Amino acid sequence: SKKTFIFDLDGVIVDTAKYHFLAWQRLAAQLGIEFTPEHNEQLKGVSRVRSLEIILGLGNVEASQEEKNQWLIQKNTEYLSYIYEMDESEILPGVMSVLDYLKENNQNIVLGSASKNAKPILEKAKILHYFDAIVDGNDVSNAKPDPEVFLQGAKKVHDVAENCIVFEDSVAGIQAANLANMISIGIGETEVLHEADYVFKDFTFIDINFIENLIKE
Ligand code: B16
Ligand code: MG
């Protein structure tokens, strides 16, 4: 039968977290705030505005709305400079074989991301044409763990939530998928993503029989 497979972007399809980190780190350094890779974990799946608040909180920095807007632009400009250099070699291992299998088997493929830069990233990775629908940070008003992003995704391909399977690397994203009544598949560590229905370290650990069974169910 036909199912809808919803993919998160950052941390699932590509590892753009490293570019977010570099850009946030430069801003933090400029503001005299210490920002480590461990701190960066807290920003995964979190919106741009919320990410800045978390960083300012780390340094107890208070700022006007005008300053914050200015810093958000600065950070995104630097982030985009890394994105312009991206190509398909940055697609995470095992992702392409799953995408190809879903395409060959006529399944719905949807993007459900918090990023406002999702489309240019998919273009750079040369996989935009795989997606039947895209829901990103430009479309939603409620961030994950709110299920809005995934529910909109289902709606765009005229499917019901019970028919959807979500791939996510963030705790908030797994919670959003569960709240949407979708099957949740965590990509990462079991200890972190224990709320997911299934967890795989990365896509190379997903057997194609597993996908086949999800389609059959
Ligand atoms: P942007 P995802 C999320 O992407 C990232 O995980 C998160 O770190 C980032 O702050 C957010 O997108 C917004 O990204 O600044 O590009 O709009 O994991 O939901 O695909
Ligand atoms: Mg993610």
In degrees, rounded to 5, the angle at the alpha carbon of residue 102 between the alpha carbons of residues 100 and 104 is 65
User: Does residue 169 have an active-site annotation?
Assistant: no
- Residues 137 and 72: their CA atoms lie apart, in Å, by 15
Check whether 39 has a pLDDT greater than 90.
Answer: yes
Residue whose Cα lies nearest atom 5 of ligand 1: it is 45
Structure tokens, 147: 């299920």
How does DSSP classify residue 185?
A: E
Task: Tell me the pLDDT band of 81, cut-offs 50, 70 and 90.
Answer: very high
Q: Residues 87-116: what's their mean pLDDT?
A: 98
Pocket flag, ligand 1, residue 140 (CB < 6 Å): no
Mean predicted confidence (pLDDT) in 138-164: 97
Q: Does ligand 1 come within 6 angstroms of the Cβ of 44?
A: yes
d(CA 97, CA 95) in angstroms, rounded, equals 6
170 burial level (CB within 10 Å; 0-12, 13-18, 19+): buried
Q: Name beta bridge partners: 200.
A: 187
Indicate whether 177 pLDDT > 90. yes
Tell me, using a 6 A CB cutoff, whether residue 148 lines ligand 1. Answer: no
Count of alpha carbons within 13 angstroms of residue 3, beta-carbon side = 20
On whether the CB atoms of residues 140 and 45 are closer than 8 A, the answer is no
Q: Is pLDDT of 113 > 90?
A: yes
Provide the pLDDT for residue 203: 98
**What is the value of pTM for the model shown?**
0.94
Tokens found for residue 175: 């919670």
- Given this model, what pLDDT does residue 41 score? 85
How much is the mean pLDDT over the chain? 97
- Percent of the chain's residues with pLDDT above 70: 100
Q: What is the pLDDT of residue 132?
A: 98
Phi then psi dihedrals of residue 85, to 5 deg: -90, -5
For residue 115, the CA-to-ligand 1 centroid distance in Å is 4
52-89 burial, b for 16+ CB within 10 Å, e for fewer? beebbebeeeeeeeeeeeebeeebbebbeeebeebeee
The answer to whether residue 217 scores a pLDDT higher than 90 is no
Is the pLDDT at 183 greater than 90? The verdict is yes
pLDDT number for residue 60: 97
Mean pLDDT for the stretch of residues 189-203? 97
Do residues 185 and 25 lie in contact, with contact meaning Cβ atoms separated by under 8 Å?
no
Q: Is the ipTM of this complex over 0.90?
A: yes
Spatial distance between the Cα atoms of 3 and 202, rounded to a whole number of angstroms: 21
DSSP letters of 75-139?
HHHHHHHHHTT--GGGBPTTHHHHHHHHHHTT-EEEEE-S-TTHHHHHHHTT-GGG-SEEE-TTT
**Is 132 among the catalytic positions?**
no
pLDDT tens for each residue of 99-112: 999 999 999 999 99
